[in-house]
Every structure is written in structure tokens, then in C-alpha cells.
Amino acid sequence: MSKSDLFTTITTPNGKTIEQPLGLFINNEWVKTESKLETVNPSTGEVIASVYSASPDDIDKAVVAANAAFKDPSWSEISGSERGDYLYKIYQLIERDRELIASIESLDNGKPYETECLEGDMGEAAEVFKYYAGWADKITGQYIGTQVLGKNKIAFTDPNPIGTVAQIVPWNYPFVMLCWKIAPALATGNTVILKSSEITPLSALYFAKLVQEAGLPKGVVNIVSGYGKDAGARLASHPKIDKVAFTGSTFTGGKIMASAASSNLKNVTLECGGKSPYIVFDDCDFDAAIEWGFTGIFYNKGEVCTSTSRFFIQDTIYDKFVEAFVKFTEENSKVSSPFEKGCTIGPLVSNLQYEKVKKYVELGKKDGAKLLTGEFIDGPGYFAKPFVFADCTDDMTIMKEEIFGPVVAITKFKTTEEVIERANSSDYGLAAALFSSNITKATHVARKLQAGMVWINSNGDSDIHVPFGGVKMSGIGRELGSYALDMYTDHKAIHINLGLDH
């Protein structure tokens, strides 16, 4: 039942009742626009709600608000500890509402509610704000003294916020990615305009309610729903935006980078696609390699940029591994509504993604890969049991292109140097994982792999203290840890001449 044109009431399958905002959040106010977009429950294919969609003109209004907030003393002149207080308040509010946010996230995205959304995503999302709340009063410059520069000169660096920051987040981790981006941007004193994915806009709008409740000055955080071709393109090209941070496809990341360059050469960080290798040596802990391999490709339905979707298994254990992995996959894949107890694989996020995965499965079979398990489930909803292809070759499409679904391609290798070369043959370089009980060999391989992140004897680990990002076509810059602070900071150098005698 609708409470107004700007809010609706949603009841989720687990019995949570949520007052869901529908409008854009600009200058601490809920705003109607001339058009709307529908967001769909991937478990049923039914519309959850229609939210207001931003046009380029609406983006311009958000930019005016964020620019004004950046100059307003109520934000620009407060101390780091005061900024930290705001972030800590948001942390507390996320913790308070984590069941509600997880419920709306599972409804909108399809990820398993209990294990992945509530226990995984929400805990991490809250901790990100707590972590950067602690950093806000520790962003200090560096003093370079006379012992370095000579007796007549000193210098120091003065860290400053970049300005108004546009942030564009994907549909696979809508709330976590929002927190990864907004928290360090606020800790360093910037103002934010965040655009959610048109496929999963609901949790970002709920977050705006928490911003209001936390009492941040108006215009510091603005949340907009909208399509990439309208809202996203305007954010990337806007001359009054100082930085854009994007997570999504490599194709879209390239377009954003070009728009940023052709407008005002704004600062850009990108976290884009991946085709991550999973290397298993014959001296591995075999059972652990099976379990971590399953997690690394099928967690979040395979809709993860870091998914280890290329398996390289040493030839001496190849047949044994493939047989055991198929068995483990079939026994541990409970495909169901994300709210059902024990669900491990929820529905793919949309019909578009469902059809995309279908296309790649057909390409795998056409190219000669051996399909050992996996099937699509007739609707309602966009469900698929995980697909395992074996006997793959490096020239197959499913070994080269990012699928972003529950599909793994397995191949074999003989030598260490061979597998390093083949793993590095991808245009992507986001992540890699390897299993071996020989830590010397494992470390050697990890250093040789062209990836922003490498896991040894684990897979898919993420921690707020550790930088996250890729190389090659997987992106530019880093998120998380102290490294994310540098992505939102300009370090001004100030030189002082002590040699004047008057």
C-alpha cells in the first residue's frame, strides 16, 4: 500500500515490512522526476516497485547541491573527528537496520538472504563505515625538514579533499559497493553523488534514509536512481564534478574514462571486469581446493567480478579433481528462493543476465567443451544450476570472456611456468587464486601472476584493511584499506623558504 508518491511499503518473503523510498535524494530532500524505472524480483519476474529515474537535468541539480555543500562551512570547516562522528553514526544505523537492508537486498538482487546477504554483506558494509570513521581524524600530511632539503628550506604536504565525487555502483553488490565508496570519500571531506544500478536501486535509496537520520549537512550525500545512458553519462561528463569512481563492466569503464578526459580531465578510479584463474597444483590440500574452488566461482551465483572462472588443474590430478568437483557442486548447490533455508544459489539478477549466461553455455558446447553438470530451470524467476565445463582450451570463448554467472571452465596444465604464462594470457588482471602446500612455489607463482590480488590456499577473500583492485583491463586505483583514502585526496605540497633575511 502506497504511503505517498515518494514512498511505498514493501513486505519481503521473510516478513520484514520496509518503508521504501522511491524518489531521488538530493540536498537532503526526496525528489520526483518525470520518469520512472521498474525494479524486478528475480525470483518471480514480478515488479517490486517503480522508482524515480534521473535525467541529465536532475543530475545537474544534484551537482549544484553537492558543489554548494563542499563549500559550506558546516561540512568544509569541521574537524576530522567530527566527520568521523558522522560515519560512526551511519555505522550504528546500518547495524540497527541490517535485517531490513539485507531483506530488501535479497529481494532486489536474488542473493541468499541468510548466508550471503545478512551474515556477509551487511556485516562488511557496517564495518566499512566504522573503519573509515576511525581514519577520519588521522589523515595527516608529511613534514620534510631541513635535514632533507637544506638549511634554508622546509616543506610539508597538506591533504585536501578532491571535491564533488560521482560514484557509480553495480548490481551484484549494491549496498556493499555503496559503502566501499561513500565511506572513504566522506572520511576525506568530499561530497558525493552516488548512482545505483537501474537493476537494483532499492538498498541505495534506503541508505539515504540513514544519511538523513545521521544528520549530515544537506547536499553532502546525494543518491540517484537512473539509467547509465542518461544519469551515468552525465555524471561522467559533467564539468563541475571533480572525480568519478566506477565499478562495473570494462566496456562501460572505458566510456567513463573517455568522457572524463573529454570534459574536465576529472580524476578517475575504475574497478572493472575479470576472468580470474584458479590454479591447483598436485601437492595441494585436495579437499580444501575443491571447497574453495566451489566458493570462488559459485558464491553470489557467480555474479562476482573476482570469480575464479578459469580452473587450471595440474595434469597428474586432473581427472580426480574434475570428478570430485562435479560431485561437490551437485551436492552443495541448493538452487531456490534466496529466503529459503539452506539456499546456496539464488536466481540470476535479471532476465537479461539469464539470457546472457544461456548464450555462453551454448558457446561452450559449440566450441567443444565437455558439459558435466548444470541446467537452466524454467520460470518463474531466473534460476540456473551451476555449470561445469571440462577439457577446455584457452581459445574457447568461455575461457576468454567474462560470463558473470555460475559457469566454470576447467583445463589442465603440466608445468609451473606453463600455467603462469597461460593464466597471464587474459586481458584482465583483477584476481587469481592458487593451491599448493609448497609455500615457496606458491609465493613465486603469486608474484608472477598479473593480478591486483592473489589468494594462496583460499579464494575470494576480502578484508576492509586490505586494498582491492586490478591491473590491465580490470581497472585503475584501489579500494579499501588506507589506499582508498588516497583515491579521494589531493596532496598539496607547500614549500617554505627560510633563507630570507627580512
Question: So which residues are the catalytic ones?
Answer: 271, 305
Rounded to whole angstroms, the maximal C-alpha distance in the chain is: 85
C-alpha pair distances (Å), 275 with each of 28, 270, 363, 399: 40, 16, 17, 8
Contact 454, 438 (CB under 8 A): no
Q: What SS3 string covers 63-116? A: HHHHHHHHHCHHHHCCCHHHHHHHHHHHHHHHHHCHHHHHHHHHHHHCCCHHHH
Q: Which amino acid, 16? A: K
Query: Length of the chain in residues, anyone?
Result: 502
Say which amino acid occupies 190: N
What is residue 40's three-state secondary structure? strand
Find out whether 117 and 104 touch, Cβ atoms under 8 Å: no
> What secondary structure letter does DSSP report for 380?
S
- Specify the 3-state DSSP secondary structure of 339: coil
Helix (H) or strand (E) holding 26: strand 24-26
The three-state (H, E, C) secondary structure of 433-469, written as one string: EEECCCHHHHHHHHHHCCCCEEEECCCCCCCCCCCEC
* Rounded-to-integer distance, Cα 224 and Cα 452, Å: 30
- Distances in Å between the Cα of 223 and the Cα atoms of 39, 53, 369, 474, 495 are 16, 11, 44, 26, 39
Whether the bond into 406 is cis, omega within 30 of 0:
no
Residues 6+ apart with CB under 8 A from 86: 133, 186, 214, 215, 216
Q: Which residues, at least 6 apart from 81, have a Cβ–Cβ distance to it below 8 Å?
A: 136, 137
- How many other β-carbons are positioned within 10 Å of the β-carbon of residue 439? 11
Do residues 142 and 158 make contact, with C-beta atoms less than 8 angstroms apart?
no
Residues 6+ apart with CB under 8 A from 145: 154
199: β partners: none
Which residue shows C-alpha cell 519481503? 12
